[in-house]
């Protein structure tokens, strides 16, 4: 599933080609995504000039003159720019054609993503209850420490809770916990403030690094330019169960937490 760095990579890739462009038309070939694409999306968006391309958590917000397109990539979705007359392949469900002759093409083999229209996106039901962005000043170790008090749930699903902080998905939660030396199985409420400060710093650093690398390509993800990310070369634990730890040389272990695989080092993480 594309996580925050992959979505931010897509945003940065498509933004220069969308800002200031007027939408010529919207071609919808398949409406059956996680939520049906609105029947009137073409009417709402066609003729409008695109003014901003933003991100909130894992949602892309493509703001036009009179409304905003909320896009979510789901588990296998991607948005990339192509020439408008580029032949359509299987699973390429939507084209947003621009006056420049380019089209923003939405591809989603599993159809778990979404394209929705809103006049007030930040108060939309999908976005209004989200926690702070991990890369701004509202997120820090103090917040993690305060919200974790009294919680018996494991620390990994705790930091993956979008009400705590947005965008820390499975890959980057695993990597941040390794960097901070924290066992993902530890009860969130038993971790000290000092360790949460270290964990928050690791989350910020690793997400920023992943964005600069263009995200992590594991299966389907490509950026807005169609190129894969390469942060997977920097992974210490995610997807490496049974392999050696790059720090201590021990064997990496795998455990299920919240129905997700969680790889960790029993020596380096406590």
93 carries a ligand binding annotation: no
151 carries a ligand binding annotation: yes
Indicate which residue of 56, 58, 156, 195 is catalytic: 58
72 carries a ligand binding annotation: no
**Max CA distance (Å), the chain:** 59
Task: Yes or no: say if 98 and 25 are a contact pair by the CB < 8 Å rule.
Answer: no
CA 238, CA 217: separation in Å to the nearest integer? 12
Indicate which residue of 49, 246, 253, 260 is catalytic: 260
CA 15, CA 119: separation in Å to the nearest integer? 20
Q: Is 65 assigned a catalytic role?
A: no
Query: In terms of residues, how long is the chain?
Result: 270
CA 234, CA 215: separation in Å to the nearest integer? 11
CA 109, CA 255: separation in Å to the nearest integer? 29
Half-sphere exposure of 50 (CA within 13 A, CB side): 25
Q: Is 2 assigned a catalytic role?
A: yes
Q: Is 260 assigned a catalytic role?
A: yes
List binding-site positions for DNA: 91, 110, 151
Q: Which residues are catalytic?
A: 2-3, 58, 260
């Amino acid at each position: 599933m594309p996580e925050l760095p992959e979505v931010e990579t897509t945003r940065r890739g498509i933004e220069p080609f969308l800002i200031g462009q007027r939408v010529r038309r919207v071609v919808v070939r398949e409406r059956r995504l996680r939520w049906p694409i609105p029947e009137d999306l073409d009417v709402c968006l066609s003729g409008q000039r695109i003014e901003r391309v933003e991100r909130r958590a894992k949602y892309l917000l493509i703001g036009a003159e009179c409304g905003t397109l909320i896009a979510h990539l789901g588990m296998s979705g991607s948005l990339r720019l192509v020439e408008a007359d580029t032949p359509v392949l299987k699973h390429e469900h939507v084209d947003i054609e621009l006056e420049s002759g380019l089209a923003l093409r939405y591809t989603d083999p599993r159809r778990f993503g979404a394209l929705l229209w809103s006049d007030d996106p930040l108060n939309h039901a999908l976005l209004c209850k989200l926690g702070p962005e991990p890369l701004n000043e509202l997120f820090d170790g103090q917040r993690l420490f305060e919200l974790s008090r009294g919680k018996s749930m494991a620390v990994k699903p705790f930091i993956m809770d979008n009400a705590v902080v947005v965008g820390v998905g499975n890959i980057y939660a695993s990597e941040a916990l390794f960097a901070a030396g924290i066992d993902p199985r530890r009860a969130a409420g038993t971790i000290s403030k000092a360790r949460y400060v270290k964990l928050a710093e690791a989350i910020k650093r690793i997400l920023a690094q992943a964005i600069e690398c263009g995200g992590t390509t594991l299966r389907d993800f490509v950026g807005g330019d169609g190129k894969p990310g390469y942060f997977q070369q920097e992974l210490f634990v995610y997807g490496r169960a049974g392999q050696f730890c790059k720090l201590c040389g021990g064997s990496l272990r795998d455990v299920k937490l919240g129905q997700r695989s969680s790889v960790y080092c029993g020596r380096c993480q406590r």
